[in-house]
Structure 1
């Protein structure tokens, strides 16, 4: 009875009090990756994707926690969560995590994150530095997370996405070869499609005015 009471009193905060991003480059990339993955797995109800969400891997240990910039958990349903409590998620750890470096991230902090991800069974870890345009990739082997020697043009085994930095920034590509778009790019594409549809409708109306309805 005492142990049950003490267990219910444990608090798992839903915020660490830190901002999602420290600068515009970091923020834009986090949003681009998260929304791009949302679209990629839109029709799969068993892929949960989150940005800047606290992940608690062990019940009763709220001090063991991290918040990846983006994380992907296959085998877990989509939906809103205040945090990712692994014991409530069929004990499934996020298989893929992303970190986008900011100037405030120290080497010690990132080393601890790598250790955390390794210890808690992450399968793929992607670390990108926007300032140096450097991508680092770790993949799980029988020995744990191991770095990839040539990460550029790498294709994720889990996501099927390809990573490229030759344009001067990190760019992700879907399995069909199309790239992840920024919010502005998506809206420009929508505007272009709307303009084309309006032009086609205007031409069709001009034909109708001159020749009447199209033959069936």
Structure 2
């Protein structure tokens, strides 16, 4: 009798889409994350090969579901836009996010921030920016010679990849696009849109008023011409 001995197969490795941690610890941190992610996404809205995500788990190593991080914002040049439950690098032509942002919250510990830095340095991030809203402090690193090197002055710094400019002199982090437009929150964008609509409505009303005034002037001119003709006078001879 032939006995079939079952072979042992390795269990499929699951890469969870969530690490159970909150996206942010307070409203200010959340607003900054959304503004930065949305601003960069809008900047590259017409480039299908720039993927921008916020708080998305990044797994850099196939077969390892423990080595992972969820940057507050990450930018990947060379990968298409679209839905992802997580960023599994080996399924993305092995392209690591080139730009990463982290917004510090009161719950962040120095040891945790150091681990984040080493993770981003080890796995190929080219530009790493950290902002502390409480102290209005922006620090950054840019890759050269295979490692992330500290940027001495961030005021007015222009990202090599994004070509965005960073300012903190106003007391808050301000990011400017290459065309000079500032990254705005949804509320700021909504107010700006309302102002633009109000200005358009004012201009429309002014044009309508000018049109009506011209019509009145023309009507008066027509009545005057008619009276002159009744008197036997040709208005064109005057």
Measured against aligned partners, the alpha-carbon deviations of 1:100-128 in whole angstroms (never above 9, x if no partner) come to 00011100001001000000000000011
Measured against aligned partners, the alpha-carbon deviations of 1:16-42 in whole angstroms (never above 9, x if no partner) come to 111110011111110110111011111
Cα drift, residue 203 of structure 1: 2.1
Cα drift, residue 177 of structure 1: 1.6
Measured against aligned partners, the alpha-carbon deviations of 1:28-77 in whole angstroms (never above 9, x if no partner) come to 11011011101111111100000000000011100000000000000000
Match of 1:50 in 2: 53
For the pair 1:199 / 2:173, whether they are aligned, the reply is no
Count of residues in Structure 1 that have an aligned counterpart in Structure 2: 209
Q: What is the aligned counterpart of 1:73 among 73, 76, 85?
A: 76
For the pair 1:6 / 2:10, whether they are aligned, the reply is yes
Match of 1:92 in 2: 95
Measured against aligned partners, the alpha-carbon deviations of 1:141-180 in whole angstroms (never above 9, x if no partner) come to 1140111111221110000001111011111011122211
What SS is found at the alignment partner of 2:67?
coil
Match of 1:105 in 2: 108
TM-score of the two chains, using structure 2 as the length reference: 0.84
Question: Larger Cα Rg: Structure 1 or Structure 2?
Answer: 2
Match of 1:187 in 2: 190
What SS is found at the alignment partner of 1:6?
coil
What SS is found at the alignment partner of 1:49?
strand
Q: Any unmatched runs of 5+ in structure 2?
A: 1-6, 216-238
Cα drift, residue 183 of structure 1: 1.3
